[in-house]
Amino acid sequence: MKADFWNDRWQRNQIGFHNSEIHPLLTRYWPMLELTNDARVLVPLAGKSLDVRWLIAQGHDVTAVELNKLAVEAFFREQQWSATQTHRPQHIVFHHEALEFWVGDFFAIRKEDLSAFDGVYDCAALIALPAEMRSGYVDAVSALLKPGAKYLLVSLEYPDENMSGPPFAIDSSKITRLFHTSFSIHCHGKHPSEVKGQPCFEIVYTLQRL
């Protein structure tokens, strides 16, 4: 998906992917990562997800990244949080206490821009990307992590013929192919869900950076 696709979705407020509640699989599975409260956590392709707020409430230092500025402005407005802004060559960074919200292309963030992370929360991020972008995404996330960093991934499965993505169905063999060289992988089962009115399964994985 090109930037135009997502910017257009935000511009038209066609954001069916946005959850008005904290994701129940986050609150259920995040404790399994056993991260310390002060862990540095990365949330790629964050939208204006309320899950960011929940992660901060756990005491984590959170860095979220989102392409679209309207989304990030909406996040701060809806949370009623003020933010200061700093300008980087390719990003605007909104700062609020333990949160840095980077506006711009996730793929343009360099390892040198940020201290390494202890954890990642990936919800509707990997599955938002078409097949040809996924290994580049996994490399980009991996480069930002400490060895041993923990990763909570919520993937999606549905019969491919039922709909076209995003979100894309990514089965466990594809997850293994994408992650096995840099991560250990544990699958925690399927949770029935619905996307675009179609039944599907959300699949939870915990990964650990080798």
Give phi and psi for 100, each to the nearest 5. Answer: -115, 125
State the binding string over 53-92 for ligand SAM (x if CB under 6 A, else -): ------------xxxx--x---------------------
| 125 is an interface residue for ligand SAM by CB under 6 A | yes
Nearer of residues 67 and 153 to ligand SAM, judged by Cβ: 67
CB of 66 to ligand SAM, least distance (A): 5
The one segment of 16-24, 26-34, 86-94, 182-190 that binds ligand SAM by CB under 6 A: 16-24
Task: Please state, in angstroms and rounded to a whole number, the distance separating the CA atoms of residues 125 and 186.
Answer: 19
Task: Please state, in angstroms and rounded to a whole number, the distance separating the CA atoms of residues 145 and 115.
Answer: 9
Q: Where are the beta strands (DSSP E) in 165-197?
A: 183-195
DSSP state of 134: H
| 170 is an interface residue for ligand SAM by CB under 6 A | no
Q: Which helix (H) or strand (E) holds 63?
A: strand 61-66
Task: Please state, in angstroms and rounded to a whole number, the distance separating the CA atoms of residues 36 and 148.
Answer: 13
Cβ(19)–Cβ(121) under 8 Å? no
CB of 208 to ligand SAM, least distance (A): 21
CB of 59 to ligand SAM, least distance (A): 21
The binding site for ligand SAM (CB under 6 A) comprises 6, 17-19, 45-47, 49, 65-68, 71, 105-107, 123-125, 128, 166
